[in-house]
Structure 1
């Protein structure tokens, strides 16, 4: 029983569109109620200021009294009128009862009136002031004629009394209309969500790992953006899985060659009859191990750049960073007699993803040294501007044929006819790192009409 209660409570506590829509309707009714109440108060104040109901009533009653010359009859008219109007006020609860009057003849003699009104000064009647009698505030009005002077005192209707009466009165009408608004809204939301529930049920029925396009028909225009977004997401997942599958296959294929060499040369090294054979096997073994290590390192860098996590940019001296990388690669350039030079300012501070920037510079320079010509030149240029950083790496080596330039950024792709060994991942890493930094990489001309150049532009943070 407790489990069922907890499950029911969990479902009720979970927010739903139906309850939210009903809550919005209730909130709208509350706002309407407050606005109507404020409008009624404003209208009441306007009527009191412009139309002056007490003055009109007093003048109408005084006009009837002017046709009554007998004091006793005039007294009866005033008394009956007051009793009638106070009974009506007490029944309706809209206006406070207790309306009072004082009647004087032409000589100013008292004809009718209560004791409390007799204490009101004549000047207060003439000015129409508001006075407090017995703890109650009264509006005063005096109407003079040839026979009678009629003084009317009406209790002031307080703001609290006005709001209390009108609030309950308006609320009654709103509560009467509420079911006729809430029920259609609730039903429209419930029926309107049914196609979405059917769409969700169709997705639930798919097999695990099924990334095929959704074949559930979507007839409603409101659901089409959701269906298109889902199709786009599935397409991205299919592309990502296909790319990862090809990546794993290519990586396995690429790493199999150096591992095979390691196994073969290890066997030769173990059974070599002479020192010369062992030295040759050891040299080939070291080359295979270095190639496998380089390939593993490149794969690790590429996997890191492919990840969703983004490094926090930090302020670095890009020029100094390039100098340090070139210093590390200088021995490799010296082995092949390549002249390595840098064209950059002394300092170039920028907010950068340092790891991605290092990958770009390192792989471009390493590729230029690895695939350049012996005794050649390699120039690295770095500039900063409003658009960001621009890195240019140029060499005078054999270059890349125009027909092959469209494919050099593919993973594991090597230009045919090149005798140098490599992983085929350097330019793929450069492109991925540039994309990670929201930049671009493009092929440009090399040095002195020879070789090839790579221009990388990255915005600074």
Structure 2
């Protein structure tokens, strides 16, 4: 955009200068034509004066006696080397004056004007028949200072060349001025380009040029509308999740109690539903309750909603130890060896979000690792970056599917368990809130899955 504006401004400013240069050249040419016309009139006026200067026959028969008129004498003195005249007889032979003007015989009594090149000089020559005391003679007057031969050089040197230099200098000056004038616009463009897709905070109007402020104000209004729409969406998800949590928690408690009672009774006792249907109902209730909790966590972990909240220093080792205690019972129930490999590491962040991230990673690992497997929670520093990771020796994820399982509600084909496809999506969202990255790779020995959340600094 800026390049287009710069180009258009340069063209709009330089084009008039070029037109003015050509207009000046045309004006100079017209002025030269006027001077040339005045010169022709002067040459025509010198012919009768030269004819009046003939006062008789000279000592020789082919010569004339002259008493040169002052205007003719002045003409000869003003242009030394560029003025000449000749007096010819009826046959065009020179009786007096320059011999190279011989043969200038006009066909009629009217004056004849023409131009002639001689010795690199363009001569303007007038010839006319005049009646004198010696009879009819032909008088020729020549001027080598014809402005027509000078106008091209004069235009090139005095008009076009200075104007071209001026245009070149103006182009550099205008380019610099345009670049300087567009710098606030380029700064505004850079500020918009560097923004996160979820950063909808208003742009500072006072820091922009007056001409651009209406555009910035329109952008701010658009940002506000999009932010309001996104905030309404977040509130809806959060409110829906909150509204679902309480009845689902009660329903899950009742179903869990029912399931335990069904398992305790003998097969001969009367039950409203078979045991397998009670177990299916309990699993469905657990999935629904987990989905509501994860939707709430996903809404709260949104990058845009966390932009303005201050971060606190978080000790990752303490977080890993607390997560180990939380999932120890679930791992023991499946005879999974849940281990901890934690080194001190501190990051700036939101504690509840990092706890949610690690809980989702640990829950996925314990949920999908077969009985008798191994799950390890780690934290520390590597290459200057802090990290937390969870590694298991379960079925793992094919390399081609690792980017897709970060998408919301995406689950691998044939995956068992009660997952909703939101755990890794939530973890990825939380990592981006902390300017980090979620990395997926194979576990130790090419088995299972290792999920690492890496944080800068």
Report the TM-score range of the alignment, normalised by the length of the smaller protein. Answer: 0.3 to 0.5
Larger of the two Rg values belongs to structure: 2
Normalising by the residue count of structure 1, what TM-score does the alignment of the two structures yield? 0.42
Structure 1 or 2: more helix by fraction: 1
TM-score of the pair, normalised by structure 2? 0.43
